[in-house]
Structure 1
Amino acid sequence: MTEFAVSTAPADVVRRQYLASAAGDLEALRATLAPDVEWTEMAGFPLAGTYRTPDGVTSNVMEKLGRDWDGWTAHDDNYVVDGENVVVLARYTAVNKATSKPIDVRVAHHFVVRGGLIVRFEQFVDTALVHEAMTP
């Protein structure tokens, strides 16, 4: 096992979360989340709200994204780390299954990592571009 795979450094934990998400490995993704995680999808986003527990996050966010979008991927481009805070500048790409319209939208994610687990997440995204892809 590589050092990265077991590292509790905040950026490494967050990177494992993105890799698990891209691979569709919900078990590995849940392993990066604290039991009392608070995961907030931005107001105006189709899945807006705050979800708790690793199962709550994957069932209310990742599984629904997979149901509604083909190839939903969060591309983690740049990391800014300050102690337990990790801000990732990224982009979402996908194709909406109902409309066949693609998205390629910039996003920022703020993670708080403690004890090797993500305890808090907040999403910032241009929700209008996401809704545009969902509108026939």
Structure 2
Amino acid sequence: MRTNLQIIQEHYAASDRQDIAAMMADVAPDARWTEAAGFPCAGTHVGPQQIIDKVFKVLGGEWEGYTFKLESLIDGGATIAGVGTYSGTYRKTGKAMQARVVHVWQLDAGKIRAFEQFTDTLLVARAMT
């Protein structure tokens, strides 16, 4: 059986190769995915399809080269934190951004139950205006 840390490592590896199916493979049907207030996809989205439609499709459509570069993972057992940097160029303005970010993951019984993002939304907003 994989550890919670391995599940999140595999999620990020799938993200790096833009494999949405693999990214969602361990997301529980009722998982709560929360994007920070002020972020383009702000709010809490429930379940894999809402996460895909309201987060990943939006970011992929509005941003050129949108990426998350993982720098470290903190293993807290049922809680895993990923620390890194977002970057990308907002298509409508042509402005680039880089913003530090922390992702906090909650897992139970081998499934991702919750995700919460903490980032500097002002840096993202500046690229969008």
One fold, TM greater than 0.5? yes
Partner of 1:95: 89
Aligned-residue Cα RMSD (Å) equals 1.1
Partner of 1:116: 110
TM-score w.r.t. the length of structure 1 is 0.90
Q: How many residues align?
A: 129
Partner of 2:128: 134
Give the 5 Å matches for 1:1-136: 8-135=2-129
Q: 1:62 & 1:32 partners in 2: Cα distance?
A: 16
Question: Any gaps of 5 or more consecutive residues in structure 1?
Answer: 1-6
Question: Any gaps of 5 or more consecutive residues in structure 2?
Answer: none
TM-score w.r.t. the length of structure 2 is 0.95
Percent identical pairs in the alignment equals 36
Q: Deviation digits for residues 9-42 of structure 1, max 9, x if unmatched? A: 1111111111222222111111021111000001
Q: 1:52 & 1:77 partners in 2: Cα distance?
A: 27
Q: 1:104 & 1:15 partners in 2: Cα distance?
A: 22
